[in-house]
Amino acid sequence: MPGSPWQVCAAVLLIATPFAVQADGLPTPLSLDDALAFAERDMPTLELARAGRDASTAALAEVEAMSGLRLSAVGKLRAVRPSHVSDNRDNNDSSAKLALRKRLYDFGYTGALEQSARRADAGSEWRYLKARQEAHLAVMRRFLDVILADLQFARDNEAMAGAFIDADRARDRHELGRVSDVELLRLDADYQNALQTRSESQSLQRAARARLAIAMGRPDELASELIRPAVPDTAVPLPDYEDLLAEILAGNPEVKALRAEVEAAEAAVAAARADYGPVVSGELAASVHNRGTSSTHPLGAALVLEVPLLTGGAKDATIAAARAELRGSRARLQAHEHAMRERVLVLWQRLDHLRLRLQGLKVRGDYRELYLDRSRALYELEVKTDLGDAMTEISALRLDEASAEFDWMMAQAELAALAGRLLPREDNE
């Protein structure tokens, strides 16, 4: 038995609305787990975080190399006028020297500098975890936005189909003189508005898919079909706000990175105070001379003490710059902790409000289902009914439910990210 005219019209409109063809390379249909897997690959934001991490590691290696062995070769082409007391009258005083040198002690400068670089390197690790979590959240949000765009299109398509049927029936009744010209024009205008809204929703579908593709690092591949995630368990009790805040302040990657920067800045101040200080080095040298004399030796060893006497104010400037950086690091840490307190409170309250909203939507859904059954029954009895409006309300309800469920999922995921537990930390990639 064929469906009702409204159902046939809606089905035709849905079928006649082609969308992006699934590109090769993406699973069909695409699940949230599949989409999130692309967030772990060579995305620009992650590459930038990796570059920062590698730069910090390189800076640490450079500081550690200051206490390492230094081997250098020195060649010298030199012509001299021999002293009148010299037995060797040769003018060629060329020589070649191989020198092995090592810094032995610098009164804490290298140690403080290494500590500063080590803490900065630890901060870059936490920043990399933060970047990974942000990429995860971005893909998750864009994935859910695509599903919401599809549900919005379904709602607007239902509304357009209902407006089309109302206008079509009005034309028939207008020919019989049962509908006025004004009423017919009003219904035609309603249909055109609904058609425009549906067209805008269809454009949003493609835009949402394009944003998802960019977030996944696959800008040229649009997913045509997505699998809706499972309904979240909103009955789970929320943690106490103070406990949740304490967990986040202790585990937040950005807070940890800023704390590492404060510690790095403190060590940098200590290094600045020890800079331009005495340095004790050991040296071994082997050399050959074209013009041998009683004062030239093929082998030598030395303990070298270097003591800067005047720095021209450079040391004071270095200390002042280090202190300024320390003050700024402490201020950034405190500002971010304050921002975390506010953000956690907002998310915690949002979850509580979303739970109430979902409960209200469930009651509304029960009512709409009964109302739709009643409208269908009246339609089959050929009694005047608002079946189109009832089905549009059901589509709108599904959109509202999905929006609330996805907001719940995103709030929970963001709280997990703020606590640093959304993803495992990669100590060794």
CA distance 295 to 302: 16
Taking the C-alpha atoms of residue 216 and residue 136, their distance in angstroms, rounded to an integer, is 9
90 located within any domain? no
Mean pLDDT of the chain: 84
Mean pLDDT of the 400-424 span: 92
Is residue 296 situated within a structural domain? no
State the pLDDT at residue 85.
Answer: 67
pLDDT tens readout for residues 148-185: 999 999 888 988 888 888 888 888 888 888 888 888 88
Q: Which of 161-165, 225-229, 339-343 shows the lowest per-residue confidence on average (mean pLDDT)?
A: 161-165
Q: How many angstroms separate the CA atoms of 203 and 160, rounded?
A: 15
| pLDDT value at 253 more than 90 | yes
3-state helix, strand, coil in the chain (%, to 5): 65, 10, 25
Residue 245 has what pLDDT?
A: 95
Check residue 27 and give its pLDDT.
Answer: 86
Low-confidence winner among 80-94, 194-208, 224-238, 274-288 (lowest mean pLDDT): 80-94
Residue with tokens 């081997």: 71
Q: Check residue 250 and give its pLDDT.
A: 94
List the one residue out of 11, 384, 376 whose CA is nearest residue 169.
384
- Find the CATH number of the domain harbouring 147: 1.20.1600.10
Task: List the domain range (segments joined by +) for residue 10.
Answer: 5-67+106-276+311-418
Q: What is the mean pLDDT of residues 120-146?
A: 94
In a domain, 293, yes or no: no
CA distance 396 to 402: 10
Does 201 fall in a domain? yes
- List all residues 6 or more positions away from 245 whose beta carbon is below 8 Å from its beta carbon: 340, 341, 344, 345
- pLDDT of the residue at 338: 96
Q: How many distinct structural domains can be found in the chain?
A: 1
Work out whether strand 95-105 and strand 299-306 pair parallel, antiparallel, or are unpaired. Answer: unpaired
15-24, 261-270, 290-299, 315-324: which range is least confident on average? 15-24
Burial class (CB in 10 A: 0-12, 13-18, 19+), 176: exposed
Q: Tell me the CB-side half-sphere exposure of residue 202, using CA atoms within 13 A.
A: 16
286 within some domain: no
| 164 within domain boundaries | yes
Q: How many residues does the chain have?
A: 429
Tens digits of residue pLDDT in 112-129: 999 999 999 999 999 999
> Which range, of 22-31, 289-298, 353-362, averages the lowest pLDDT?
22-31
**3-class SS of residue 31:** coil
**Using 50, 70 and 90 to split pLDDT, how confident is the model at 325?**
very high
pLDDT value for 420: 93
pLDDT, tens digit, 9 for 90 and up, residues 47-85: 889 999 999 999 999 998 988 899 999 998 988 777 766
pLDDT exceeds 60 at position 16: no
